[in-house]
Amino acid sequence: MEFLVEGILAITYKEVIMWVIGGILIYLAIKKDFEPALLLPMGFGAILVNLPLSGVMNQTMEGVGEVNGIIEWLFNVGIEASEAMPLILFVGIGAMIDFGPLLSNPKMFLFGAAAQFGIFFTVILAVLFGFGLKDAAAIGIIGAADGPTSILVSQVLRSNYIGPIAVAAYSYMALVPIIQPMAIKLVTTKKERQIRMPYRPASVSRRARILFPIFVTIIAGLVAPSSVSLVGFLMFGNLIRECGRLDSLSQTAQKELANLVTLFLGITIAASMKAENFVSLQTLLIMGLGLLAFFFDTVGGVLFAKFLNLFLRNKINPMIGAAGISAFPMSARVVQKLALKEDNQNHLLMHAVGANVSGQIASVIAGGIILGLVPGML
Amino acid sequence: MMFNALLAINQTDLSHALELLWKGWLGVFVVIALIAIMVRLIVGSSKKSEK
């Protein structure tokens, strides 16, 4: 009857810790509504993969040999082989994005670029804390504030920390309403936060909306070839949306496809949350560095706006810079809320949405640039 | 632990990380600026053809 207690006797304390962590992720997803679409599957998956001798991971069975586990198979096929899951999810995300506010106000593009500062600064911090360059780059990409980009970059770089990176990326996206106001208030004055910006958008034709994803892919692909998969799939989804001929495909991409892939991605990522890899001081460090990445993204965007104001007659509200991170639409809403708090007539939402949407492109480009530069440095 | 971590800094990795900061961040700006210019041209030419 020993086989009945085999599993119980094989429990390690690290696995118990992972059950607790899984439980915390599930709690955050359900009770606090923190990115439930990802945190709940990740939390449950963390429990599944950390049950001793779990059948969801590959096991060697006596008399039978190697037996494949479903989560490990999903990870090998859907993430390790070609990063298919995050890329397919990007098609759905691209189909959801309306680039109109950005196309009608193109100067907001710059804030998307500025707010990627935290990624690169965090790479330096991670190296200072003893991580090797490829792991530091994978940790820095948490600052992209974009789950699929974080997963893809850390996987391509063969980082040892995909699990904590994915947990950090999704958890901190949900904490944007807490992280960003702190960072913004640290580097701005009340007077700066009260700057008003009139909104006078240019009209955007359907032709412009169709040409945009095509040209973005070509430009990004020529300058940063490693970004083609990321940018290309995002823009493919957007082209399906904007072409006006594929409404059913667009709806499918936005809803069924995005939901299906999200469902599988969350539980599949759990394969990288095995206790022996996850329960370590490095995980805690990564969570801390991920927080700093978001913080410095915000600071970078805001300081860039303040720098531009040195040369502009019509000042920009520097909080717009903070909206340049990829956490859409939370970041735009945070900036709008802060602006109204300082001056209840100051509506910055459409400017902030433009910057926020730019951040979605810029974060993906940043990921591609890291993939282009880092392998050559290893 | 932090002191030990600081001692473990790989100087080559640090110089690469600094290089990544200016090249990577500048690279993002370059791509974004090219895209912004392209958008201006497309939106501008679309307005002209509508007139």
Q: What digits encode the pLDDT tens for the residues A233-250? A: 999 999 999 999 999 999
8 Å CB contact between B20 and A377: yes
Which one-letter amino acid corresponds to residue A337?
K
Across A128-157, average pLDDT: 93
* CA–CA dist A331, A348 (Å, integer): 12
CB contact under 8 A, A127 and B50: no
Confidence of residue B8 (pLDDT cuts 50, 70, 90): low
Q: What ipTM describes this predicted complex?
A: 0.84
Which one-letter amino acid corresponds to residue A273?
M
| A residues 248..307 contacting B (CB < 8 A) | 281
Q: How is residue A79 annotated by DSSP?
A: I
For A10, the token pair is 């094989």
Give the other-Cβ count within 10 Å of A158's Cβ. 13
Confidence of residue B50 (pLDDT cuts 50, 70, 90): low
Query: Rounded to two decimals, what is the model's pTM?
Result: 0.86
pLDDT at A170 (0 to 100): 85
* CA–CA dist B28, B43 (Å, integer): 22
pLDDT at B40 (0 to 100): 86
Q: Cα A111–A150–A295 angle (5° rounding)?
A: 45
Q: Tokens 């880092």 label which residue?
A: A374
Closest CB from A112, A137, A374 relative to B32: A112
Distance in Å, alpha carbon of B30 to nearest chain A alpha carbon: 9
| H or E, element range at A174 | helix A162-174
- Which residues is A66 bridged to in the sheet? A60
pLDDT at A294 (0 to 100): 94
pLDDT at B48 (0 to 100): 67
8 Å CB contact between A321 and A187: no
Q: B26 and chain A: CB distance < 8 Å anywhere?
A: no
Cis check: omega of the bond before A164, within 30 degrees of 0: no
Q: Cα A280–A282–A287 angle (5° rounding)?
A: 110
Least confident of A16-30, A205-219, A328-342, B5-19: B5-19
* CA–CA dist A170, A266 (Å, integer): 10
For A280, the token pair is 């370590």
Closest CB from A117, A208, A369 relative to B46: A208
Q: Tokens 């490829």 label which residue?
A: A134
Distance in Å, alpha carbon of A331 to nearest chain B alpha carbon: 19
Q: Cα A331–B28–A376 angle (5° rounding)?
A: 125
CB contact under 8 A, A123 and B10: no
8 Å CB contact between B13 and A140: no
Domain coordinates in residue numbering, chain B: 25-51
Q: A137 and chain B: CB distance < 8 Å anywhere?
A: yes
